[in-house]
Amino acid sequence: MTADNYETIHTKRSDRVARIVLDRPDDLNTITPTLLEELATAIDDLRRDSDVRCLLVTGAGDRAFSAGADLSALAADDMTAPEGVELARMGQQTFGRLEACDTPVVAAIDGFCLGGGMELATAADLRIATDDSTFGQPEHDLGLLPGWGGTQRLPNLIGESRAKEIIFTGDRYSAGEMAGYGFLTSVVDADEFDERVMEMAEQLAAGPPLAQKYTKRAIRAGRDDTDGGLETEAHAFGQLLETEDFSDGVDAFRNDEEPEFTGE
């Protein structure tokens, strides 16, 4: 797989800044297994390029950064618990690649940033969003939990209490609210978005690469046992895919109804 035959993303360069674009705008840039595979390949290719000094991750179009996982890939009748564990691990590992990049990573968010899309943004170093963007972790509304690192990275970023609020309620939050929670670095008007994003990326790209690399490694080394938490998260995600609650949650979502969970 090379940059020339990506189906769900595309990449482009501007001097020392490389942009990875989730390219499924008609589907709100929802995340499929193919997209995860292609994203991992693109990240690895760009990490090996010494000329790249900053990574930008964004979504095609002006409706969504990413509205989360493509539900068609998660239907309870089609995916077993072990398959769900592997899907969770795939997302965790792909987003982990992004988090582990030695160069600074910026998530540029315009529109919906929900579920797996928000988990992807959480793996970046900095996040900038338009003022009309919308955020949330709606997995509990489906009888699931965030399975691509959300139960680990979000508390590390904004604190456990706020992370639990966002995950447990499944509510949607404005860019202003998420800036107040410390999730967003800055919020800008849509007309200024592209310019401000590039200003930030170019500033980071001009920074000291060795100091940036070791700063990122030192910060990560100071965390608790994230790998153990991720493994627990992956197994929980897989088990939840086989529950009636998940099936009912997906049906309610598709029919624009409120789910009635029974704990089965």
Q: Would you call 222 helix, strand, or coil by DSSP? A: coil
The count of residues in the chain is 264
Options 7, 86, 99, 139, the catalytic residue = 139
Options 119, 160, 177, 231, the catalytic residue = 119
Distance CA 82, CA 65 (A): 29
Place of tokens 């315009």: 110
What is the identity of the amino acid at 204?
A: L
Which residues are CB-contacts of 113 (< 8 A; sequence separation ≥ 6)? 64, 65, 66, 121, 129, 133, 134, 135
18 DSSP β-pair partners = 13, 55
Q: Measured between alpha carbons, how far apart are the two ends of the chain, in Å?
A: 41
Catalytic (active site) residue 119: yes
Catalytic (active-site) positions: 119, 139
